[in-house]
Structure 1
């Protein structure tokens, strides 16, 4: 289903983690609204299929291999967008992992992975686009946090720590900027492949049971569309989107 564009001119929007879940849904929603979407993820074959579907529906999409943990990869991703479209209006820092477990399970490799993807990945994205947006005198960074950035639950200590950090980072960036818009989106239970990143079986079973309440990723894509299509002098700072039935 397509939606009429609500903006005077199409924006160039970079989406990390675009191969599934919230990233894919966001790319589809924004492309349907007439924006140019640049799709970044490690699973390039999925990006290629998504880009073909978007372009087959009359949209504009550029797939590009991206590892958010590598600053050089992120800079290459941003440069590819500039080469194709000439400017960068929005970066959606969406890529994330959620291998939940109790701290005493000592899954330290998983802790490092969450810090590398969920926090350093966001920092790499900001570092890559900030000079471009500063030179343009405008830009919008949308960081995907989580309701886990508003609370802490057992098995989610490290994941929550990364998402709390994303919210703090976003607020600092907002305060430092006068021409840059910064939005934090904090989803609750949302259908995605994040549960697949949980290796601890007891935790995975518990979270899988909760996912019966989950809302579709398209609901988050709709929220991002709302935030980026506000007038230039309006900055939607934070949106929390939960299933109605989530406690």
Structure 2
């Protein structure tokens, strides 16, 4: 049991890093509200973690909809009485060469990966300011540090998340801001959208190299559990074998 129980919101929690983070933080004794569009998975996860002794609630969440995100945050305030941590995890990664002109995929990445993060900040920042503290953890990617062919737009959204996070950090004296950048990680990011050939190649690489989502959850838990006057700003977590 952690020495300081925190009220934590996790987006994109129906699978992958979000699910692993919910498991890790609930096991540590934090109160967790999980959100995603796939409510069946959320309900099953919340029940499993409650049966194991955790304090976990779930709510449908579409990060592209500011009203949905504000309702998600309001639910945490009702259930827990405050918001200590937001883990802005929801993301999509339909990769393709720019010349494919998959504009719908581009817009989807902008909407989820960047606008969704902004919506999360807008939804929780007033409550954190009012209570005099909090932490926003934005999940970026190693693609927010380097650009590879077929990942130009995805990288653009993740570079933007890093820039947004750094700006928010510099503006804040009572809100901790953390960026976590995973490398190849077992998740469903490579399962939908994008160029089919690229998707197959990335999935094959991930099968060979990927680390478990729990490894990223451990990094998130490390940042969460630091004292209030210690702000872990950036963590990059790659498989050892990843170039």
The reply to whether TM is greater than 0.5 is yes
Shift of 1:206: 1.0
Shift of 1:198: 3.3
Tell me whether 1:54 sits opposite 2:49 in the alignment.
Answer: yes
Equivalent-residue separation in structure 1 for 2:219 and 2:121 (angstroms): 21
| Matching residue of 1:106 | 101
Tell me whether 1:225 sits opposite 2:221 in the alignment.
Answer: yes
| Matching residue of 2:234 | 238
Three-state SS of the structure 1 residue aligned to 2:93 is: coil
Equivalent-residue separation in structure 2 for 1:40 and 1:56 (angstroms): 19
Equivalent-residue separation in structure 2 for 1:69 and 1:196 (angstroms): 20
Equivalent-residue separation in structure 2 for 1:243 and 1:6 (angstroms): 28
- Structure 1 unpaired stretches of 5+: none
Tell me whether 1:209 sits opposite 2:197 in the alignment.
Answer: no
| Matching residue of 1:80 | 75
Q: Which 4+ runs in 1 deviate beyond 3 A? A: none
Three-state SS of the structure 2 residue aligned to 1:121 is: helix
| Matching residue of 2:155 | 160
| Matching residue of 1:25 | 20
| Matching residue of 2:137 | 142
- Structure 2 unpaired stretches of 5+: none
What TM-score does the superposition give when structure 2 sets the normalisation length? Answer: 0.99
Does structure 1 conserve the Cα–Cα contact (< 8 Å) formed by 2:105 and 2:193?
A: no
Equivalent-residue separation in structure 2 for 1:96 and 1:164 (angstroms): 14
Shift of 1:209: 1.6
CA RMSD of aligned residues (A): 0.6
Q: When the two structures are aligned, how many residues end up with a matched partner?
A: 242
Tell me whether 1:187 sits opposite 2:162 in the alignment.
Answer: no
